[in-house]
Amino acid sequence: MAKTAAARGRELDRAGLDDAQLVAMLRNMLLQRQLDNRGFQLNRQGKIPFALGSEGHEAVQAGAAAAFKRGADILVPYYRDLGLALGVGMTPFEILSSLFARRTDRSMGRQFPNHYTNRDLGVMSISSIIAGHCTHAVGAAAAMAYRNERGRAVVCTTGEGATSQGEWHESVNYAAVHTLPIVFLVQNNEWAISTPQDMQMKVANVADKAPGYGIPGVVCDGFSPIATYKVMHDALERARSGGGPTIVEAKCYRFLSHSTDDDDRTYRSREIIEERRKLDPVPRFEAVLIEAGVIDDARAKALKADVLRETNEATDAAEAQPYPTVESLYENITAEDYAPWRHWQ
């Protein structure tokens, strides 16, 4: 453990990230894992109707979030983006308010879990229609370009299945034609519910589609937060400085079923998951940081205890909140002061 900083630096390609940033990435990954498990636990306890897991995506999202510029960039996530949501500033209490569908949820208990919205943080509201949000992400990037706002960019995320959608194609194409400041981050976990990648596309990598749009496509190790950070950092910097869009494909894996309503035993063998679990990015990154001397065992333990405490507190606090009032069902259909809908309906 008694290594000098210089020695550590040689062993760990830290992509310019300092110790505090590396630890923040690990903490984000631990918190994702904890909150993911909490969602499934609460569902199995009958306390919430539904949860989606991001297990296996922790590294991608911690890395991408570290490259996101708060207060400038916009995130247009998909529904498996817990770590990105946390990484750009959303709190476990917000996540759990959504899981419990409580009044403190930003959508007031309307949205499905994992469908975040937080305009203050630049997290755009999405629906569940796969890739529909990619066009909105392009619109947001077009708005930045329209106002000549250099130094800002959009992160638009999807899984690999979404790249089969016409709207994904239309979005990437438009962004390319107009050289818009956007990064299409594809988290390739190999499965779209039960459909494997080779039933979605003929190419080995989503990034292989990029030349068809005349833009760069990059593949990165989505089990490494530093590798993902590096690629996302470069792509976002390029976008922010007017260089146009990039497709970033982060190879990861979906360890859990699609959701609490899915049973992946019907289409996927246990052996393959066990095999892939050996590369689980969360313990792996913990080991990397210990090995490099960034943290020690005690610090790792303390981080885990801390995210458990935070998750427990947020669970209790969110569960204690009231449901939205039934009157709220009738609110925010149109603007409150938009008289026609109120008086002539």
Partner 1 sequence: MTAVAQSEQTVTMTNVEAVRTTLHDALVRDDRVLIMGEDVGARGNVFLITKGFLEEFGAQRVVDTPLAEASIVGIAVGMAMEGLRPIAEIQFADFIYPAFNQIVGEAAKTRYRSNGDYTCPLVIRTPYGGGVRGALSHSVSIEALFYHVPGLTILAPSTPADIKGLLNAAIACPDPVLFLEHKKTYRSVKGEVPGGYYTIPIGKADVKKPGTDLTVVSYGYNLHQALDAASRLDGDGISVEVVDLRSIRPMDKTTILESVRKTRKLLIVHEDNKFGGIGAEISAMVAEEALFELDAPIRRLAGPDVPAMGYALPLEEEFMISTDEMVDAMRSLVTF
**E-assigned strands of the chain?**
74-76, 154-159, 182-188, 191-192, 195-196, 217-221, 246-251
91: contact with partner 1 by CB under 8 A = no
> Binding mask 129-158 vs partner 1 (x if CB under 8 A, - otherwise)?
x--x-xxxxxxxxxxxxx------------
Six token digits for residue 38: 């909490």
Tell me the number of residues near partner 1 by CB under 8 A: 49
Distance (Å, rounded) from C-alpha 189 to C-alpha 173?
A: 23
Q: Does 333 bind partner 1 (CB under 8 A)?
A: yes
- E-strand stretches of 189-229: 191-192, 195-196, 217-221
Within positions 157 to 196, which residues make up the interface with partner 1, using CB under 8 A? 166-167, 170-171, 173-174, 177
CB of 214 to partner 1, least distance (A): 13
Rg (CA), the chain: 20
Of 108 and 232, nearer to partner 1 (C-beta) is 108
Q: Which stretch binds partner 1 (CB under 8 A): 14-22, 87-95, 100-108, 302-310?
A: 100-108
Span of 36-44, 57-65, 80-88, 112-120 interacting with partner 1 by CB under 8 A: 112-120
152: which residues sit within 8 A by CB, 6+ positions away? 69, 72, 73, 74, 144, 181, 240
71 contributes a contact to partner 1 by CB under 8 A: no
Residue 106 found at the interface with partner 1 (CB under 8 A): yes
List binders of partner 1 among 299-328 (CB under 8 A).
328
Residues 323, 106 contacting (CB under 8 angstroms): no
Sign of CA dihedral 218, 223, 227, 230: positive
- Does residue 72 interact with partner 1 by CB under 8 A? no
Quote the least distance from Cβ 37 to partner 1, whole Å.
Answer: 27
Q: Which two tokens stand for residue 191?
A: 């499965």
Cα–Cα dist 19/140, whole Å: 33
Comparing CB distances to partner 1, the nearer of 123 and 288 is 123
Binding partner 1 (rule: CB under 8 A), the pick from 118, 179, 194, 195 is 118
Please enumerate in sequence order all residues whose Cβ is within 8 A of that of 277, keeping only pairs 6 or more positions apart, or say none. Answer: 255
CB of 44 to partner 1, least distance (A): 27
Residue numbers of the site for partner 1 (CB under 8 A)?
74, 76, 106-108, 110-111, 115, 117-119, 124-125, 127, 129, 132, 134-146, 166-167, 170-171, 173-174, 177, 328, 331-335, 338-341, 343-345
